[in-house]
Amino acid sequence: MDSKDNENQPLNQKNDIQEAFEQLFYASPFHELLNSFQEMVSDQLQSLMVSMNIREENDELLIDITVPKSFQNGDIMIEAKSRYLHVSLKEKTESKDSSSFTNLSRTILLPYPVYEETMKTSWNRNTLTVSFPAQKKHE
């Protein structure tokens, strides 16, 4: 037997063991349980995501903020400082014996500085649109 064959044999055995382990794991009930848990967590996280879309239209900088349904009756705070827009969402849930708060926040970098005093907002279903006058382009 060639010395190269001896060197490759342990590698092949290691790959065979890894492959056998993966097949055993994927065929087990644990794999199904783990997948179910992962789907449940992903669904919950997706329902708590705040997405933002930045665009320029008609001499305005527009930021569309998708607000999760669970936060639409809560508090929404928006701060604009220089080139940053910070959005905070807060929801209070009450039961007979207790109260709980859930907070989400997100900060994005804008393409140019904006001034909070020029900010306007509008609401359409689950989207809050924040607008600022567009920065004048220098020629």
Residue pLDDT tens, the chain, 139 long: 555 555 555 656 767 777 776 766 666 676 676 666 666 655 554 555 678 899 999 899 999 988 877 776 778 899 999 899 998 888 877 788 888 777 888 889 999 999 999 999 999 888 899 999 988 764 3
Tell the residue number behind the tokens 């239209």, with chain if given.
Answer: 57
CA dist list (Å): 24 to 12, 20, 28, 29, 106:
18, 6, 6, 10, 42
In a domain, 128, yes or no: yes
Q: Structural domain of residue 28, as residue ranges?
A: 3-46
CB atoms within 10 A of CB 119: 16
pTM exceeds 0.95, yes or no: no
User: Do 8 and 75 sit in the same domain of this protein?
Assistant: no
Q: What is the reported pLDDT for 30? A: 65
In a domain, 138, yes or no: no
- For the domain that residue 72 is a member of, what is the CATH number? 2.60.40.790
What is the rounded distance in angstroms from the CA atom of residue 134 to the CA atom of residue 1? 75
What is the rounded distance in angstroms from the CA atom of residue 58 to the CA atom of residue 85? 20
Yes or no: say if 64 and 52 are a contact pair by the CB < 8 Å rule: yes
Q: What is the reported pLDDT for 105? A: 84
CB atoms within 10 A of CB 109: 9
User: Do 42 and 54 sit in the same domain of this protein?
Assistant: no
